[in-house]
Amino acid sequence: MMLNNFFKNKRYTTALVSAAFGCAILIFNFLTPMLADDYSYTFSWYDHNSIVTLKDACLSMYAHYLSWGGRIITHFIATVFLMIGKPVFNIFNAALYCWLAYLLYRYAAVHAEKGHSLIYLAVHLCIWFAVPAFGQDFLWLIGACNYLWPAAFIFTFLWPYYQYVMSGRLLTNKIIIGFMPLLGLLAGWGNENTSGAGILFIAVLLLIARKLGRKIPLWMLISFGTQILGFIFMIAAPGNYLRLESSSENTGLLLTYGGRLAVCNSMLYEYMLPFLLVYLFLFVLVCYQDIEFYKKWIAALFGITALANNYVMLVVTEYPERAALGTALFLVTGLLYCLSLQLDENHVKWACGIVCSLMAVFFIQYSYGLLDIGYTYRVYNRRIDSILQQRDAGILDIVTYRIEPKTKFNGLYGLEDLQGYPTHWLNGNTSNYFGLHTIVAFPEEKAEE
C-alpha cells in the first residue's frame, strides 16, 4: 500500500524519477569524451578546414548532402555542439533524454487511471534494458544527435495527433500550431528508419481519426505533409546513392536479402525478445478486453510500427545496433500502453513488485556501466595528455594504446577506436585534430613494449 500510494503521487514521483535518471544520464554524458566521428565532424565536408562559424557548418552540410548522406539536420546540430563544446551538449542531451522518456510515459499512460507514475519509472527501466546500443544512442555526441534527437522530434510531433485520436482533445495554442510544420520537417528529416516509422504511425492515426468521425484540421494535414517532405529530402540526397554504390553487395539476391533478414531477426532476438514476448502476451489480453476498438488498434499500431522500423533495414547494406533505437522505443511504449490498460488496483501490487525487482538489476548494471565509462574516461584523458605532451615536445608521429570498452552503456562500445595503421579514417582525422603527422594505436600491452 505504501508503494502504491507513492506511485500514485504523480507530481512528486515524476519529478523524483526525472531528477534521478536525469542525473544518472548527465553523469554518463560528462564521463563520455569525444569519440570516433566526433573528430570527423569538426572538419568541413566542403573544404576540409576546421569548422568555426555557422557559415562553415552550413557549407559543410551542403557538401555532406551531395557526397555522403541526407541527415544534414542531425549532423548540423552535432556540428554546432562540437563548435560550442561538449559540456553544453551534455546538459542539453540529458534534458532531452528525460523529455523523451516523459513523452513515452504520456503515450503509454494516456488511459491509465490517474496517470499511475509506476509506468513512468517502467519507461526509464525499459529504455535502459531494451536499447541495444545505449551508449552510442544517448552518450556519443554524433550518435545521440542522429538517434536520440530525431526520436525526440518524432515523438514530440506525433503527440498532438495521438492525443486527438485518444481523447478528442485538439491542440488550440496558435503559437504551437504555427511551429508544427517546422517540427514535422524535423521529424521527417531525422534518420531513415525511425522517421519513416513516424510517418506510418501518423498515417494510421489519421485513418483512425476518420474512422471515429473526427474532422482533421488543415494544420494537421499541412504538418503531415512537411514531415513527408522532410523524409523525401533526406532519402533523395545524392550522397546516399554514391555511398550505396561504393558498398554494393555482389552475393546474389537470395543471399543478400537472406543475410539482411537474418540481421533484422537477430536484432529482435538478441536484444528485445523478452520485450517482444511480453508485448504480445499483453496485446492478446487487450484483444480480449471489452474496450473501444480504437484502443486495440493503437495497441497493435505500436507493435506494427516497431516491426516496420526494424525490417525496413532490409533495404540497406548495414544495420548497426544504434539504428534499432526506434524499434525499441515503439516496442516498449506499446508494451507499457497495453500494461496501462490492464493496470487496476488488483494488479498494481504485482506491477510494483516487478518494477522494484528490475530496479535492483538496474542498480547493478548502472554500477558496472559507471565503472566501465569511468575507466574509459580516465584512460582516454591519459591518452590525450600523452599525445599533447609528445606533440609539444616536437614528436608528431605518435604510437599510443587502444581503449576497449566492456558494456553497451559505454559510448565507445561497438565504435571504432584508433587503429594500428595511420591511414585509417579515424587515425587521419585524429591526427588533423591534434596537428600531428601520424598516429597509430595498439592494445595497451603492445603499445607499452
Q: Is the pLDDT of residue 306 over 70?
A: yes
Q: Is the pLDDT of residue 216 over 90?
A: yes
Report the range of poorest mean pLDDT among 48-57, 367-376, 437-446.
437-446
* pLDDT mean over 75-92: 96
pLDDT at 85: 92
* pLDDT mean over 278-301: 93
Beta bridge partners, 439, equal: 398
What percentage of residues in the chain have a pLDDT greater than 70? 93
* pLDDT mean over 402-421: 93
pLDDT tens-digit map of 322-362: 999 999 999 999 999 999 888 776 677 777 888 889 999 99
pLDDT at 449: 45
pLDDT tens-digit map of 130-152: 999 999 999 999 999 999 999 99
Q: Are 387 and 400 in contact (CB under 8 A)?
A: yes
Give the predicted TM-score (pTM) of the model.
0.93
Considering the chain, what is the average pLDDT of its residues? 90
pLDDT at 444: 64
Q: Is the pLDDT of residue 437 over 60?
A: yes
Task: Place 447 in a pLDDT band, splitting at 50, 70 and 90.
Answer: very low
Task: Place 247 in a pLDDT band, splitting at 50, 70 and 90.
Answer: low
* pLDDT mean over 247-253: 66
